[in-house]
C-alpha cells in the first residue's frame, strides 16, 4: 500500500497507509492533545481535545478517529481550536474534584499536563463539587471517583487487553460512573484479575496503586501499547 500525503498546518507530510490524522501527526512530530485516546486501545472520540479543522468540512473532526486521506488539509492549532480546548479543560476541572496539590498523580497527570500545555491557568466556571466516594476495598488498587474524567480507558483496557470486562460505565450524563461488576466494591468484584492494567492506563489520579501518597502514582501507559503490540502483532518492542 502507498503512503498517504496530506497537509498538516501548512506542511506537506506523509503517513502510513490507513493511519488516522492523529497517527499521521505523531509520525511527523506534530503534537495534538488527547486524553481518551491511548495507543494500544480502540478509539472512542469522546474527550474532544483532539478536534482539528479539515478544509472543506463544516464540522471539526476528532483526529483520533478520522482517517488521514490523500490530499487532506488539516489545521491542528488554530485560535478557535485553542479556545475550545481551553474551555473543554475548564469543563473537566469544574466537573469533579481535581485538587492537584493533594492528588496521588500530581506531576504525573495527563489532565494536568494538557492544562499546562494549553495555558489554562484558571477556571471561570463554577465548580460542581459532587460528593463522590473513594473505593479502597481492593487489596492492591483504589479508585477515586473525584479524579475520574470518564475517558473509559480502564474499561477498554480491561475488556480489550485483559479480557475480564470488570469495568463498565453505569448511569448516564453527569451521573455516569465507572463501576466494577454490579457496582460492587472493587474488592468484591470477582471478575477482576488484579492485573493492574487499568491503573497503568488511567490518565489521572482516579485509579491508583494502594500506598501511593501525593505525587507518587506514576502511570506506565506505555505498557499498554507494549502489551497490545505483543498480543496483536507478536512484536515485543519497548
Contact footprint for other proteins (CB under 8 A) = 44-48, 51, 59-60, 62, 65, 83-84, 87-88, 91-92, 94-95, 124-126, 128, 149-150, 159, 164-176, 179-183, 189, 191
CB of 181 to other proteins, least distance (A): 5
CB of 115 to other proteins, least distance (A): 14
Each as own residue / partner, the long-range contacts of residues 50-56 (CB below 8 Å, 24 or more positions apart, any chain) are: 50/22, 51/81, 51/84, 51/85, 52/21, 52/76, 52/81, 53/78, 53/80, 53/81, 54/21
CB of 214 to other proteins, least distance (A): 26
Q: Which is nearer to other proteins, 117 or 213 (CB)?
A: 117
Q: How far apart are CA 92 and CA 106, in angstroms?
A: 16
Q: Which is nearer to other proteins, 146 or 212 (CB)?
A: 146
Is 20 within 8 Å of 66 (Cβ atoms)?
yes
Q: How far apart are CA 204 and CA 103, in angstroms?
A: 9
Q: Which is nearer to other proteins, 150 or 212 (CB)?
A: 150
235: which 3 cell numbers?
Answer: 512484536
Q: Which is nearer to other proteins, 100 or 150 (CB)?
A: 150
CB of 80 to other proteins, least distance (A): 8
Q: Which is nearer to other proteins, 32 or 150 (CB)?
A: 150
Planar angle of CA 179, 217, 45, nearest 5 degrees = 50
CB of 147 to other proteins, least distance (A): 15
Residue 74 phi/psi, 5-degree rounding, is -115, 140
Q: Which is nearer to other proteins, 41 or 212 (CB)?
A: 41
Pairing relationship of beta strands 4-8 and 73-75 according to DSSP bridges: parallel
Planar angle of CA 148, 154, 159, nearest 5 degrees = 150
Q: Which is nearer to other proteins, 186 or 208 (CB)?
A: 186
CB of 38 to other proteins, least distance (A): 16
CB of 103 to other proteins, least distance (A): 19
Q: How far apart are CA 100 and CA 115, in angstroms?
A: 12
Helix (H, G, I), strand (E, B), or coil: what is residue 162? helix
Amino acid at each position: 500500500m502507498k503512503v498517504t500525503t496530506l497537509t498538516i498546518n501548512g506542511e506537506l507530510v506523509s503517513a502510513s497507509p490507513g493511519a488516522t490524522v492523529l497517527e499521521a501527526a505523531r509520525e511527523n512530530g506534530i503534537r495534538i492533545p488527547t486524553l481518551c485516546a491511548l495507543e494500544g486501545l480502540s478509539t472512542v472520540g469522546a474527550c474532544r481535545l483532539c478536534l482539528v479543522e479539515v478544509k472543506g468540512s463544516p464540522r471539526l473532526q476528532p483526529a483520533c478517529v478520522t482517517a488521514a486521506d490523500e490530499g487532506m488539509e488539516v489545521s491542528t492549532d488554530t485560535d478557535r481550536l485553542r479556545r475550545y480546548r481551553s474551555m473543554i479543560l475548564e469543563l473537566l476541572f469544574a466537573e469533579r474534584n481535581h485538587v492537584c496539590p493533594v492528588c496521588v498523580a500530581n506531576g504525573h497527570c495527563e489532565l494536568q499536563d494538557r492544562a499546562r500545555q494549553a495555558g489554562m491557568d484558571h477556571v471561570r466556571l463554577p465548580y460542581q463539587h459532587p460528593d463522590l466516594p473513594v473505593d479502597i476495598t481492593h487489596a492492591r488498587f483504589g479508585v477515586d471517583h473525584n479524579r475520574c474524567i470518564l475517558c473509559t480507558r480502564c474499561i477498554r483496557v480491561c475488556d480489550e487487553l485483559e479480557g475480564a470486562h470488570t469495568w463498565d460505565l453505569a448511569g448516564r450524563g453527569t451521573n455516569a460512573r465507572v463501576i466494577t461488576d454490579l457496582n460492587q466494591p472493587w474488592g468484591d468484584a470477582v471478575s477482576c484479575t488484579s492485573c493492574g492494567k487499568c491503573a497503568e492506563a488511567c490518565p489521572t489520579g482516579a485509579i491508583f496503586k494502594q500506598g501511593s501518597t501525593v505525587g507518587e502514582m506514576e502511570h506506565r501507559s506505555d505498557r499498554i501499547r507494549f502489551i497490545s503490540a505483543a498480543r496483536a502483532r507478536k512484536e515485543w518492542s519497548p
